Amino acid sequence: MDCIFCKIVEGAIPSKKVYENEHVLAFHDIQPAAAVHVLIIPKKHIPTMNDAAGEDFALIGEIHKAAQIVAKELGIADSGYRLVNNCGKDGGQVVFHIHYHLLGGEKLSALNVRD
Nearest to 107, CA basis, from 27, 39, 36: 36
Nearest to 92, CA basis, from 28, 40, 49, 42: 49
CB 87 within 8 A of CB 93: yes
Residue 69 contacts which entry, ligand 5GP, Zn ion, none (Cβ below 5-8 A, type-dependent): none
Which of 75, 92 has the CB closer to ligand 5GP?
Answer: 92
Binding status of residue 48 toward ligand 5GP by CB under 6 A: no
Binding status of residue 52 toward Zn ion by CB under 5 A: no
Which of 3, 108 has the CB closer to Zn ion?
Answer: 3
Q: What angle do CA 109, 5, 51 make, to 5 degrees?
A: 80
Give the footprint of ligand 5GP on this chain (CB under 6 A): 4, 13, 15, 27, 29-31, 39, 86, 92-95
